Amino acid sequence: MTFSRSHELFSEAVKYMPGGVNSPVRAYRAVGREPVFIRRADGAYLFDEDGNRYIDYVGSWGPAILGHNNPVVISAIMDALGRGLSFGAATEAETTMAKLLCGAVPSLDMVRIVNSGTEAVMSAIRTARGFTGREKIIKFAGCYHGHADSMLVKAGSGLLSGASPDSAGVGTAVAASTLVATFNSLDSVAALFERNKNEIAALIVEPVAANMGVVLPEKGFLEGLRDLCTQEGALLIFDEVITGFRLGFGGAQSMFSIRPDLSCFGKIIGAGLPVGAYGGRRGVMEMVAPLGPVYQAGTLSGNPIAMAAGIAQLIFLRDHPELYRSIEVQAGRLFGGLAEIAQKKGAACTVNSIGSIGSLFFTRGPVRDFSSALRSDTKRYSVYFSYMLENGVYQAPAQFEALFVSAAHTDREIDQTLEIAGQSGFNRYV
């Protein structure tokens, strides 16, 4: 493969954008190379500006669950385009989206549509503080909840991959109000509650961590969080920006039968267009303006094009429940195959997966929290990433991210991926 056009574009981009990108992971610094510039996508494939084709396991970081350019979604977008791009006024589509979300997720009585997952989290935290009258928040080391100030403390994802555990510009007072626990450790959470009696407004968690790589909750962990929050009068917030409508139509909370007080969504509910949402039980959501004193607003919230795309995708997923099972079968073949290759090669690798998402960690397992994820050999991942990319497989350009399988991935794509990984991808890294 050649990447000359991508190199030209990147050389120009760095003159006008920090790092040449509008989101840090896109810069490929974590894998020691320049980014490829994508021109188009279709089904399970991406095509870059040099004409190279890749089997795509990023899927715009999750929302392309039906594959790229799905005709149902594209048709809905084209229909909505004929009616206008943005109105800054109420539309029927917003209510349709809200009803779909509330009908799919048992913990939702009311929702507010916003423009991103970051905005959803920021607003949910503000709502929790307004409802409880408390200031402090508990999060987990390695969990990423967007780039709002209070969440950039021991964050994962792009911050982790860029070797920067926190962000400059976050005030010390803001950071002090965020308490950090250890994922899969109820004792660490209980200790924070004990030391901060009647001060904690909420605990926020990815029910399946997906920003320190994919890390599954151990048995009893989520249930324990629910119990502790109830006992301490704090709200439980599930960040389902990754897992919502990915692990099933009701998200991770339906899979694990846990009912949080507030939930955050993004990405997939817009089918790839900018959108987010937060919601929960009626008494909490009635704190939000104009009903209550917690202010949140957005000119482009509920954008009609994003609503049309998201509604089309959600209805398709709702009406085809068998789709989740078929995607999981392909994902099982992929992640199971990678684990088998690692075992046969004697490579120090661990594969974590659930449903249609998973991660390959270049470390011996288990990987169950932030510290065990950090044992991964990022240099080895970089070599592996480059080999796979140069042989037509597009994966996350960072060790601590998830891989996503879509309905567009067939036996052909999975078999080809495993063949590339098996023949040459792993034997260099033993």
Instruction: Look up residue 213 and give its DSSP letter.
Output: S
Catalytic residue among 261, 267, 278, 429: 267
First to last CA, the chain: 25
Residues 135/201, Cβ–Cβ less than 8 Å: yes
β-sheet bridge partners, residue 209: 215
138 vs 140: CA distance, rounded Å:
7
The tokens of 367 are what? 């990987």
143 vs 348: CA distance, rounded Å:
24
CA distances from 427 to 187, 380, 394, 409 (A): 40, 11, 19, 25
264 vs 180: CA distance, rounded Å:
19
Please report, as a single letter, which amino acid is at residue 217.
Answer: P
18 vs 287: CA distance, rounded Å:
38
CB atoms within 10 A of CB 282: 10
155 vs 133: CA distance, rounded Å:
25
Please report, as a single letter, which amino acid is at residue 22.
Answer: N
Is 267 an annotated catalytic residue? yes
304 vs 77: CA distance, rounded Å:
9
Catalytic residue among 57, 144, 381, 429: 144
Is 42 an annotated catalytic residue? no
* Residue (of 142, 224, 140) closest to 190 by Cα position: 224
Q: What is the enclosing helix (H) or strand (E) of 232?
A: helix 221-232
Catalytic residue among 45, 57, 154, 239: 239
Instruction: Look up residue 27 and give its DSSP letter.
Output: G
248 vs 267: CA distance, rounded Å:
15
301 vs 51: CA distance, rounded Å:
36
78 vs 83: CA distance, rounded Å:
9
59 vs 394: CA distance, rounded Å:
10
SS3 of residue 288 by DSSP: strand
Is 369 an annotated catalytic residue? no
List, by residue number, the catalytic residues: 144, 239, 267
